[in-house]
Chains A and B, each alone.
Chain A
């Protein structure tokens, strides 16, 4: 089932996410949450199935950025509902937007070379994509804040945890890079773009201590930072679409 018709789970999951959002708009939150959980379960099955696309289990396609990102956003949405966040339904907007990205992304897998088959690589992608999800959520909540719908503390919390996850990704990535290529940092586009993103969000964390940077200005910064993150990460993902792929 996982190697034939696996993409059925993806389409079903995204459909359920859309229904969940519709139910939120209709103010039937409990039903919306149940549908969100069902969509999350379907999406988890899809990700597990991606590991089997080549007929033998390989973890790397499971944690491929464009596919893992909606899953991470779904986890964050579920967590927000569980915490009693009144605006948790709005978080389905970035989830649906990035699900659309997954819908149009290349289906096959990039055959991994032996130096990419390590738990450190899996840990790197999981933490990096989770950080991206938190940064995008933070930016979205910053936009909600600018519409004067909530407190600045809400978007700030997401960005702080995004930074923690992104820092973890830098460590796991450094270990993987050392084991696979002999350096903890390489002077290449992927590493330099990661360093750039890390520094942008490190700068954000300092804004709270600079006079004049009130919630509104910090919200604009968060939105600008997520735009930079989107441009850098998706230029890389789109480039990877041109790589030779198998399966799917």
Chain B
């Protein structure tokens, strides 16, 4: 009985159908989130158990796919582990290859274990991460967490695109200077996060819907015809920010992030190595010129 269950859970046919089932459930989630974008956007900043406890009973029609997806991903994880164990046992039992070739034959199993690690990393993020947003106004204080010293918004400075370009009235870069404890200045820009008492701080912006761009195809008069020279002449001015653009600070705690990034990077390196070595081996024997023509 145990052996039959083990064989069933470790069958590659089950892997195939679980992968397709997960794809179908993501597709269902995609359709729901397309038609209810704002509703599902809120899910990105809540722990998944909190979301399910709050939203599944109140809107089961919109969330039905989520518990199913989590179940399928769980079984996919179990299936991957069992498949990998079976394969590694078989490889060690019938080991007749040289050291390098034996290592090469182990690579797909290592990739599968790393895939499990990525899934665990996502599970850690989804169940233990925290995301806190606060609006930013110059001169005001921001409290991220009562246990962390507050930050004072010292200044907000926008850099705009050059005047001669079609992007002239648009923000290229925003820098916010905070004053933390001991009046230490902390600069923060989009895409450049900083660490603060265990949080990762980032800038974010909420844009309310505006009218379509009028006369967008009509270029403003360009004084200097050498536009290449204007590429770096961004103007740093205290221009009034549009009322539709609310600047926010996002404080993140994501314990799954290092796990996800490390495992994913290793997967890429190993996968590329594996398929390249296969292609080289096959080309060397003249058996076939197509790249990566052999699976694991």
Does B15 belong to the interface (CB within 8 Å)?
A: yes
With A56-B161, A196-B26, A210-B12 as contacts: A154 and B264 at CB distance below 8 Å: no
Which A56-95 residues sit within 8 Å CB-CB of chain B? 56-58, 83-85
Given A161-B275, A161-B291: A200 and B190 interface contact (C-beta under 8 Å): no
Interface membership of chain A positions 157-197, coded 1 if the CB is closer than 8 angstroms to chain B and 0 otherwise: 11011001001101100110011111111111100110111
On whether A117 and B27 interact (CB within 8 A), knowing A56-B165, A160-B275, A167-B267, the answer reads: no
- Contacting pair B12 A206 (CB below 8 A): yes
From A13-21, A22-30, A37-45, A239-247, give the one contacting chain B: A239-247
A108 to B202, CA, bound (A): 30
Interface-centre pick from A3, A206, A209 (highest chain B CB count, 10 A):
A206
Q: Complex: how many Å from CA A210 to CA B231?
A: 56
CA distance A178 to B293 in the complex (A): 34
Closest chain B residue to A57 by CB distance?
A: B231
> Would you call A183 and B161 a contact (CB within 8 A)?
no
List, in ascending order, chain A residues with CB within 8 A of B125's CB: 183-185
B272 sits at the interface (CB 8 A) = yes
Whether B288 and A164, one on each chain, are in contact in the complex, defined by CB atoms closer than 8 angstroms, is no
Chain A window 1-14, contacts with chain B (Cβ cutoff 8 Å), 1 for yes, 0 for no: 00100000000000
Q: Is A101 an interface residue (CB 8 A)?
A: no
B213 within 8 A of A: yes
* Given known contacts A3-B227, A156-B293, A164-B275, A195 and B19 CB-to-CB distance under 8 angstroms: no
Fill in one digit per residue for B186-227: 1 if any A CB lies within 8 Å of its CB, else 0: 000111010000001011110100001100110100100001
Which chain B residues lie closer than 8 Å to A246 at the CB level? 166-167, 213, 216-217
Q: Which of A52, A154, A189 has the most chain B CB atoms closer than 10 A to its own CB?
A: A189
Q: What is the number of residues of chain A that contact chain B, defined by CB distance less than 8 Å?
A: 66
Which of B19, B37, B288 lies at the interface centre, i.e. has the most chain A CB atoms within 10 A of its CB?
B19
Contact A183 B44 (CB under 8 A): yes
**Number of chain B residues close to chain A: CB under 8 A:** 76
Residues of B within 8 A of A151 (CB): 288, 290
B-side residues, CB < 8 A to A, are 12-13, 15-16, 19-20, 22-24, 26-27, 29-30, 33-34, 37, 40-41, 43-45, 122, 125, 131, 161-162, 164-167, 170-174, 189-191, 193, 200, 202-205, 207, 212-213, 216-217, 219, 222, 227, 230-231, 250, 252, 254, 257, 260-261, 264-265, 267-268, 271-272, 275, 279, 288-293, 295-296
A-B contacts, 28 of them at CB < 8 A, read: A54-B161, A55-B162, A55-B167, A58-B167, A108-B217, A111-B213, A118-B191, A156-B292, A157-B279, A164-B272, A164-B275, A167-B268, A171-B261, A182-B200, A183-B44, A184-B257, A188-B44, A189-B30, A192-B33, A195-B26, A199-B22, A200-B19, A202-B19, A203-B19, A232-B30, A244-B212, A244-B216, A247-B217
- A residues at B contact (CB < 8 Å): 3, 52-58, 83-85, 108, 111, 113-115, 117-118, 151, 153-154, 156-158, 160-161, 164, 167-168, 170-171, 174-175, 178-189, 192-193, 195-197, 199-200, 202-203, 205-210, 232, 244-248
